[in-house]
Structure 1
Amino acid sequence: MYDFLIIGAGSAGCSMAYFLQKENKSIALIDREGIAGGASGAAGAFLSPLPGKKNPYNSLVNAALDYSLDFYEKLLPSAVDKKGVLRVADTNFDEEKLSKNSIRCEYLSSEKLHYISKNFMEIDGYFYENAAVVEPVQICRELTKESDFYKRDVKELHFKDGIYTIDEIKAKNIILAQGVGSSLVEIPYMKISPIFGLRVDVKTTTKVPFNIHKSISVSTNKHDGTLSIGATQQRHDDEKIECLTTCDKCAYYLESDEMQTATLLKQAEELIKLEDLEVVKIYKGARATIKSYFPLIGKVVNYESSLKKYPSIKNGTKIPPEMLEYYPNMYVINALGSRGFVYGPYLAKILAQNILYNEPIPKEVSTEKLFYKAARKD
């Protein structure tokens, strides 16, 4: 019998296990692939600020970044390479957005970059000091070393007499942290869209002084002698796809590893020349997002029961969150997207404090916000 059963052992689930275990709770983790066996293990795990004029979204990202960077450096410094990031203007982040924002940065001209390294191409950009790359699998294993892990492909969740059961595993509380995996309960207001991502770890004799980001990301040289090149490749918003396995085993991706890798390496070479390049390993993973791009945490609202009890919600009646119907002792942390390792510890701590001490959850990331929005469209 466990206090908490967490389904999903990526950044979100592993971070939840860590913070609950620190509160002397007994934890069981379940995942069909293993610790960081899915999208989190395939992540580039770049931790970077989000430039632009201050708004609720980039404020959330940058608050999470500050917290998580400090957290990882204390948790496992050998898995963190914090050397900053050079952001190069592109269609999403033009010169004005990169230079005129609430985050302190330094403009680096092409001449200055060539002084730093002769391997930089004819680019310029803005350097942000507060950025890093982490080793995702090492981080997740460290987060969960005090928890019990079960490798299972969970299809059903049973609840009886206040206890959740999966096979022989029993728990008083359940946390859904499955990313793009199928939810075990009906949550119609949480519509997950997978975003396919690709990461290639390489060896090179080139010394890359800091992370570089344009439409793709190139990391600095890491502790293990490799550097990572990563990108978000393809959205699935309009596709009827149910993720039943990891991306490297999915028939949806028809392009060969060679083609995908060649494209990514070509984009990297447009930023910096990587000499004596050797591809070490290729990773694929689908990151979970929702339409608003905000992550999602909190108690799981029972959609049908809440609307049956308060049908006027559909017409805009404001029913306080505490009066809604919820699945008993069930929580969710999901839709962390391509910022899984930025959000993971920050959101997990907020949710753990909410569960154990009833500390409030910011409205922007709450399950209730999505519930009300979906109900009024119903």
Structure 2
Amino acid sequence: MVRAIEWVDAGADSHIRLIDQTLLPASETFLEISSVEQLIEAIQSLAVRGAPALGAAGGYGVALALLEGARHEWTETELDTAIDAVALARPTAVNLAWGARRVAAVRAEGFDRVLAEAHAIATEDERANRELSRLGADWLLERVGHRPLRAVTHCNTGALATTAWGTAYGILHELHDRGMLELVYVDETRPLLQGTRLTSWELHHDGIPHLVEVDGAAASTILRGLVDFAVIGADRITADGDTANKVGSVALALACARRGIPFVVAAPYSTIDVATATGDLIEIEERGDHEVLNFGGLPVATPGVRAFNPAFDVTPHDLISAIVTERGVVEPAATEQPLFAPDVAVADH
């Protein structure tokens, strides 16, 4: 199984190793990250991405900051600034800041304790992913039917987006392992093609039958009855169950609602942000024009034209059939608000 992020233990030269996802599938290249600045660049360039993987990056980023601070004799203020810079490198995904804050909270206990806490995030994520995959597969088979199912998914939620196994992808993998997955339609996921480049790459390596489709075909694929359910991940889930995910996700939810089939969101419990009441309050990251106006390094628009490039959209909770975490399955459209109570979840954030 591919590891999107790992800690390389080499004494004073310890560092983070990332697979550079911007180069997949053409090249499987690893980045050796030894400074906070390099980590932030990797996060912002999407060399590492996906909410759970960013949670691990946040945690390991604190360990990296402590090592770099020791080399350069940073003051406590300088160390705080470096940790904050990691935590805030991308604004929409809650797991990045959560991972950094969780590990930073134990830094007074020393480097070994910090590294152990960062490792714990990675270990817990894989365990959570496997459990939510089991729960999600059970839920789908109970409601759709105990037969091989056809699915559509958006963006990438596999091992590349997590510390191992995957979230929404993990549910697909679980169904496949049970002999209950017939076919997956993979949205290309414009403008950076995470579906084409990453999800298809993982499905191919795992031997899971799939077809890549342009984003504009997804709603029609659903309405034509070609799939039995849609499953996506999430970068943030609010207290009422609204979810932020890669832009284009809400179109699948609308089509599923019209067709009357399940629209499922899968994410570790750490993705739930009980401090944000609704999706209207989520800050949506907007990225550069070049991602939309260029393709394969070549301009595809008239010179001087500008682009609107939100990285995420928000799916209202009443369009979501199920939110699956390692703690269980909730059905937002049929649940009284607030869906996630602060007194239950604050300790986990």
Indicate the TM-score class for this superposition, using the shorter chain for normalisation.
Answer: under 0.3
Q: What is the TM-score of this pair, normalised by structure 1?
A: 0.25
Q: RCO greater where, 1 or 2, for CA within 8 Å and sep 6 or more?
A: 1
Structure with more strand by fraction: 1
Q: What is the TM-score of this pair, normalised by structure 2?
A: 0.27
